[in-house]
Every structure is written in C-alpha cells, then in structure tokens.
Chains A and B, each alone.
Chain A
Amino acid sequence: GEDVEQSLFLSVREGDSSVINCTYTDSSSTYLYWYKQEPGAGLQLLTYIFSNMDMKQDQRLTVLLNKKDKHLSLRIADTQTGDSAIYFCAESRANRDDKIIFGKGTRLHILP
C-alpha cells in the first residue's frame, strides 16, 4: 500500500527544538517532502530530500531519513511562535508518475 503516517499533534515550548516524525510504507519512494500550512493558507514547501540522502540541513531545519526503517523526521531548532502550523510529510516515486502521497499532518503548537 501507499501510506504516510504521522502523529496529529505536537506541543513544544518556545525556544526548544521540535521534532516531527513520519513513517511511510513505500520503499521505492524517490523524494520525501515536508510542507507547512499556516492557518487559512495553502501548502508551502519547506524542504525535500532525495531517498539516497540521510540528512539535509537548511538553517533551522534538519531532515533525517532512515531508509531502512522508512522513517523521516523534521527538526526545527529554536522553535518560534511563527512556526505554529500544520506540517505535512509527503513522498513520491518516479515510477508512480511522481504522484505525491501526503500524511494527515502534524499540528505544531507552541507553548509560551
């Protein structure tokens, strides 16, 4: 099957690191993505990683990929109130015409 799973909620104190986890079932996934959706807005691509990479870092964001366990995580360092949003994990596979499969999203709540 083609499933992407992630927990629905995460609460983090301002200034701490947030780690959002995602698991997927398709071992042939080519690209793995993290999208952010702020209230009332569409999806914003945060970052993506190729399946042959283990890690990708971009400023406060760090993506870790464990291909063996089919586990993807997004770490946000020094979490700020502006990071409050829903974060979607997604994957696509070249031989599936690159169709993107999304998880249900993790709502990140920032505590003062």
Chain B
Amino acid sequence: GAVVSQHPSWVICKSGTSVKIECRSLDFQATTMFWYRQFPKQSLMLMATSNEGSKATYEQGVEKDKFLINHASLTLSTLTVTSAHPEDSSFYICSAGDTVRGRDTEAFFGQGTRLTVV
C-alpha cells in the first residue's frame, strides 16, 4: 500500500529557531500534499495545500511567511516553521494522494510530527 513517511516524529527546539518537517511519499508520486496542524485536545486544522512545482495554497489565518512550504518534487514536501515560538508547539501531520495511479482522492497520512518549542 501507499506509504507516506514524515520526519522527524518528535522535535524540541528553542524559541526563535526554525524547524523543518519532511513529508515523503515512498512508493507513489503525489502532485498534492496537505499539511495539517492539531491543537491540544482539538481536531485537525488544514494549514495549506502543497502543490508540486508551484506555490502552496494557504488557508485563511495561516501565516505563509511563518510556515514555509516547499514541494520541489513529486515525492517530497517540506514544512518549515520559522522563528518558532511556544505557541507553535503542536502536532503537525501531512497527507498525500497517489496522483499517478489515479488515487489522488485517497489520503495517506504521515506519522505526524510533535513539535515542542521551549
């Protein structure tokens, strides 16, 4: 089955530093990947849609200069949290669809990344 690998699974960083999270589709190609954020005790919130070879589409209220998304290839999208603050501490998860095999409406999820900013 389709596998999405997300790395790292857990990261602690100091305030003011930047953190990069990677999302890779291991055995399929994904034109589109989605980035979500989960606040404590709440459901997921879609942050942005990452499009291969073009700019990401951000949801309302999400700062694109703070959450940089790069989708340079059909198998890799990265989310960089710049100048992280404690309020950015959250669980971030990506999902991707298998575009080539026409399964682009199915979502395969990464394992998620727990970010703690101290």
Chain A interfacial positions (CB closer than 8 Å to B): 31, 33, 35, 37-40, 42-43, 45, 48, 86, 88, 94, 97-100, 102, 104-105, 107
Contacts and interface: CB of A to CB of B under 8 A. Distances in A.
Residue of B36, B95, B109, B112 with most partner-chain A CB within 10 A: B109
Contacts, number: 56
Residue of A42, A48, A86, A97 with most partner-chain B CB within 10 A: A42
B91 interface: yes
A37 to B, nearest CB: 6
Given A98-B91, A100-B44, A43 B112 contact: no
A31 B49 CA distance: 26
Contact of A86 (B36, B41, B107, B109): B107
A40 B93 CA distance: 18
Interface of B: 32, 34, 36, 38, 40-44, 46, 49, 91, 93, 95, 104-107, 109, 112, 114
B105 A39 contact: yes
Say whether chain B's binding surface is mostly helix, strand, loop, or mixed.
strand
A86 B34 contact: no
Given A43-B107, A98-B38, 18 more contacts: A31-B41, A33-B43, A35-B44, A37-B107, A38-B105, A39-B104, A39-B105, A40-B105, A43-B36, A45-B43, A48-B43, A86-B105, A88-B107, A97-B91, A99-B112, A99-B114, A100-B44, A105-B106
